[in-house]
């Protein structure tokens, strides 16, 4: 485990001596926003921002593992993103294939387990194949679970969970008298078996959730930053964790 005090030293916070090393979020979710704006500022095509954003994600994955985060969920491609211009969607699909192929060895080396959450039925077969190959080859890794939210929309996730419950009832897999509550409903979501996020980070200065983990973030701490995702680095990530450590999480209690 790295020394958090030394990592935060560059921030020159007035309360460094109050950093609680043991209070590390178990699960961090990130809305990686700002790739297109970052590219436009540099008069480059949007895909350059997405490529830089993929490099940043690699850095944050390693930072998460190093600091002791156990689950990292990255909002990579939403269900609404399919409506973007066909050329951009095709470029993004190719980028995902390239990145997954390039990073697989690093995921294995760093003991990172890859998990895809999203509507798999509409993902192009070649892209889904490489995702599922990476899932298979990293399934026994334990240091960090990396959830890639791809073709993901939270409203659709909740609808799909409801359909699963109905179908399970019709097939006799669940009893008629089953008590559907918040805990067992979660077991029908794409994120079944994954703890709810403790901290949600959104970059780029936007203050929206954008149909991301709506069920799961009921008591998640939210952190917004003006920094565009391609400029977000370990320092910004640890600053978000520092901010999280200063909060009092009551979960509706006094």
CA 223 to chain centre: 14
Q: Is the dihedral of CA 93, 117, 205, 98 positive or negative?
A: negative
Distance CA(106)–CA(125), nearest Å, equals 24
Residue 62 vs residues 37, 43, 178, 206, 228: alpha-carbon distances, Å: 25, 30, 42, 25, 19
Instruction: Find out whether 159 and 185 touch, Cβ atoms under 8 Å.
Output: no
Instruction: Find out whether 103 and 57 touch, Cβ atoms under 8 Å.
Output: no
State yes or no: is 33 an active-site residue: yes
Q: Is 165 helix (H, G, I), strand (E, B) or coil?
A: helix
State yes or no: is 111 an active-site residue: no
Catalytic residue among 17, 66, 81, 126: 81
Residue 20 vs residues 4, 45, 243, 244, 246: alpha-carbon distances, Å: 9, 42, 11, 10, 9
Catalytic residue among 3, 17, 26, 33: 33
The residues annotated as belonging to the active site are 33, 81
């Amino acid at each position: 485990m790295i020394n958090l005090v030394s990592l935060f030293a560059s921030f020159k916070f007035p309360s460094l001596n109050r950093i609680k090393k043991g209070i590390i979020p178990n699960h961090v979710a990130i809305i990686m926003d700002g790739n297109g704006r970052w590219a436009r500022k540099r008069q480059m095509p949007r895909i350059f921002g997405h490529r830089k954003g993929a490099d940043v994600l690699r850095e944050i994955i390693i930072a998460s593992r190093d600091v002791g985060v156990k689950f990292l969920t990255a909002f990579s491609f939403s269900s609404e993103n399919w409506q973007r211009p066909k050329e951009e969607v095709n470029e993004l699909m190719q980028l995902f294939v390239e990145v997954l192929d390039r990073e697989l060895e690093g995921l294995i080396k760093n003991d990172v387990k890859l998990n895809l959450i999203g509507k798999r039925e509409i993902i192009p077969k070649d892209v889904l194949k490489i995702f599922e190959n990476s899932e298979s080859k990293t399934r026994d890794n334990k240091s960090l679970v990396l959830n890639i939210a791809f073709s993901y929309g939270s409203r659709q996730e909740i609808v799909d969970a409801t359909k699963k419950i109905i179908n399970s009832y019709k097939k006799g897999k669940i009893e008629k008298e089953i008590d559907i509550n918040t805990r067992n409903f979660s077991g029908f979501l794409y994120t079944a078996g994954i703890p709810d996020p403790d901290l949600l980070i959104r970059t780029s200065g936007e203050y929206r959730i954008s149909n991301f983990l709506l069920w799961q973030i009921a008591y998640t701490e939210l952190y917004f930053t003006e920094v565009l995702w391609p400029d977000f680095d370990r320092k910004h990530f640890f600053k978000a964790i520092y901010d999280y450590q200063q909060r009092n999480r009551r979960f509706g209690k006094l």
